[in-house]
Structure formats: C-alpha cells, structure tokens
C-alpha cells in the first residue's frame, strides 16, 4: 500500500491535493484553497485530515485553514517566512526542514519570489514536488513580493531535481501559458507538440497537471533562459540566465 494522491479542482482554476498514507491513516492537504471542496473529497475517500502543509499565505492557498482545523482538528505546517501572514500554525518550517506523513517524508525548499516566504514540499523518494505558485505548467508565479533574482534562484533549486520528478502546481493555467510560450520560442518542437497535447486534454476538461520536470525543462520558457533561440529573439545573447529570466517574466506580465 503506497502513498495516494487525490487532485481536487476547485475555485476557478485552483488544484488542491490530498496525500494519504494508508498505513498510518494520515492525510495531508497541500494548502487549503477551498475548505468545502476539500471536505467533500475527504468524505468521498473516507479519509481523515491530519495536517495542512501551506506553501504561502495567499487566500487561495491558506484561506481554508481555519475552517479545516475547526472541522477536522488537523495541524498546520506553514512557511517560517510568513509567520505573521499565517498566524496560529502548529509549526513553521525553513529550508531543509523535514515534514512527515506517516513514514513518508518531504523536504522543505524555500522558493521566494511569488511571496516573500513561499516554500515547496519535495518528496525525493516518491519523486513528487508540491510547488504552490512557484512554477506552473509552461509558466511561473507572478512576482508579488519578491524579485526576479529570487524567483530565478527558486526555479534553479527545482530544476536541480531529477527530470522524472512530478510537479504538482496549484493552478490550471496551462492553456494561457502555452499561448505565451509560443511567442517566446515558436521554433521549439517539444513545445509545439506539447501545445497540441494540452489542447486535446483541455477540450476534454482534463487536467494538464501534474507534469514532469523534464518536460517543463524542454518546454517552459521560464526554465529556458539558456536557450539560444530565446536569447536571439530577446536580443540578449550576452545577458546571464537571471537577466533573461527577468525579461521573459516582464514580457509575460504585459501579455
């Protein structure tokens, strides 16, 4: 009996995730985008919520915390860098800290940029990363509280994971991101093929998430500032990766 993951589409374009360990009976909710949707999913599976692992303080990630604690008595683990924005958590975690779901462990990565204390939860053995609003399918989080330099550093940490790692992001933004990606690197054959696959999935209302890190590295323009084609298009042949990333992020903000 191994780790189970239930994906919960909720709000307009969010994904909640429940992780369940059948051995210990523990269940974690990655963030709390929509308490009602999460409670319904728990009921469907007959799982009892024991923990919430927050990635950052935005309402579509931590807004359901209080309601879920009230209904289930679960504990909350939250980023140390957002202690004041997510008050009342049971534990605040930093880079390198370990959190447990039964015998499964996840490692905390600090991935600032979208918010000033954003974290990801990486399950190395299971090759899964729960990344909140850091990286999206062919996209990346907006820079609300951090700099392009911070976000590039955060993305670089995620890019160091094995290519087979499944990336579980918190929004279904893929179709929009694909339209932007095509303006940045239209000659990328992997990107063209992926855009077709995404269209087919969305036409059937199917999720395009999770996705493998390897596929992201081949198709996500935000992970490709070293691409000669992108550098040529942006006239940034001599810039460094962080500068090219910042240019791509600025273009997406205006897209």
Q: Give the footprint of Zn ion on this chain (CB under 5 A).
A: 58, 133
145 binds, among Zn ion, Fe ion, none (CB under 5 to 8 A by kind): none
- Cα–Cα distance, 104 to 99 (Å, whole number): 8
57 binds, among Zn ion, Fe ion, none (CB under 5 to 8 A by kind): none
- For residues 82 and 185, which CB has a smaller minimum distance to Zn ion in the complex? 82
Closest approach of Cβ 14 to Zn ion, in Å? 10
Residues 6+ apart with CB under 8 A from 106: 53, 98, 99, 100, 121, 122, 123, 130
Closest approach of Cβ 111 to Zn ion, in Å? 12
Closest approach of Cβ 66 to Fe ion, in Å? 18
Judging by beta carbons within 10 Å of its beta carbon (0-12, 13-18, 19+), is residue 228 exposed, middle or buried? exposed
CA triplet 166, 183, 114: central angle to 5 degrees? Answer: 50
Closest approach of Cβ 187 to Zn ion, in Å? 32
- For residues 58 and 224, which CB has a smaller minimum distance to Zn ion in the complex? 58
Phi, psi of 30, deg, nearest 5: -80, 110
- For residues 113 and 225, which CB has a smaller minimum distance to Fe ion in the complex? 113
- For residues 113 and 221, which CB has a smaller minimum distance to Zn ion in the complex? 113
Cβ distance 162 to 126 under 8 Å?
no
Closest approach of Cβ 227 to Zn ion, in Å? 27
Phi, psi of 86, deg, nearest 5: -125, 70
Query: Can you give the binding site for Fe ion, defined by CB under 5 A?
Result: 60, 133
21 binds, among Fe ion, Zn ion, none (CB under 5 to 8 A by kind): none
- For residues 133 and 216, which CB has a smaller minimum distance to Zn ion in the complex? 133
Phi, psi of 221, deg, nearest 5: -60, -30
Q: What SS3 state is found at 92?
A: strand
Nearest CA to 74 out of 143, 4, 30, 27 is that of 27
Nearest CA to 22 out of 101, 106, 126 is that of 101
- Cα–Cα distance, 229 to 212 (Å, whole number): 23
Closest approach of Cβ 230 to Zn ion, in Å? 26
- For residues 67 and 241, which CB has a smaller minimum distance to Fe ion in the complex? 67
């Amino acid at each position: 009996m191994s780790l189970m993951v239930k994906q919960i589409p909720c709000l307009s374009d969010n994904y909640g995730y429940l992780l369940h360990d059948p051995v210990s009976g523990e269940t974690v909710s990655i963030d709390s985008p929509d308490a009602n949707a999460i409670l319904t999913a728990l009921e469907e599976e007959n799982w009892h919520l024991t923990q919430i692992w927050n990635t950052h303080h935005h309402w579509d990630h931590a807004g359901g915390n209080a309601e879920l604690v009230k209904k289930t008595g679960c504990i909350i683990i939250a980023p140390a860098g957002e202690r004041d924005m997510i008050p009342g958590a049971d534990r605040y975690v930093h880079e390198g800290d370990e959190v447990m779901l039964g015998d499964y462990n996840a490692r905390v990565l600090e991935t600032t940029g979208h918010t000033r204390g954003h974290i990801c939860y990486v399950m190395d053995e299971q090759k899964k990363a729960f990344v909140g609003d850091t990286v999206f399918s062919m996209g990346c989080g907006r820079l609300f509280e951090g700099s392009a330099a911070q976000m590039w550093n955060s993305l670089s940490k995620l890019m160091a994971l094995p290519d087979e790692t499944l990336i579980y992001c918190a929004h279904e933004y893929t179709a929009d991101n694909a339209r932007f990606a095509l303006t940045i690197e239209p000659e990328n054959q992997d990107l063209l093929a992926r855009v077709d696959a995404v269209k087919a999935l969305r036409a059937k209302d199917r999720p395009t998430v999770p996705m493998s890190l390897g596929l992201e590295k081949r198709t996500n323009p935000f992970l490709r500032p070293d691409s000669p084609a992108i550098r040529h298009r942006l006239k940034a042949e001599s810039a460094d990766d962080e500068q090219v990333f910042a240019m791509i992020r600025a273009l997406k903000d205006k897209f």
